[in-house]
Amino acid sequence: MARWLATQGFRNVSILAGGLAGWREAGLPTDRFEGEVVAARDERDPVAIAEQGRASFLPSLADRYLRDGALPTRRRLTTLFVDIAGSTRLLAHHPPERVLGVVQGFMRLVTEVALAYCGDVKDFEGDGALLYFESTADAAGAALAIRSALACGTCGADDPVAARMSLTVGEIAVGVVGSTMRQAIALVGPSVSVGARILKRIPPGGIIASGEVVAALRAEAPPLASEFRLVDPAFEVPGGDGITVATYAIS
**Which of the residue ranges 62-76, 169-183, 211-225, 233-247 would you say has the lowest mean pLDDT?**
62-76
Most confident stretch, 30-39, 158-167, 223-232: 223-232
pLDDT value for 185: 86
pLDDT above 70: residue 147:
yes
pLDDT tens column, 21-71 = 555 666 666 554 444 433 333 343 433 433 444 444 566 787 787 777 778
pLDDT value for 176: 87
d(CA 77, CA 135): 7
pLDDT band, very low/low/confident/very high, at 1 (cuts 50, 70, 90): low
**Which of the residue ranges 36-40, 178-182, 193-197 would you say has the lowest mean pLDDT?**
36-40
Other CB atoms within 10 Å distance of the CB of residue 27: 7
Which residue ranges form the domains of the chain, and what is each CATH number? 1-55 (no CATH), 58-250 (3.30.70.1230)
47 or 82, higher pLDDT: 82
Most confident stretch, 38-42, 63-67, 154-158, 170-174: 170-174
Mean pLDDT of the chain: 79
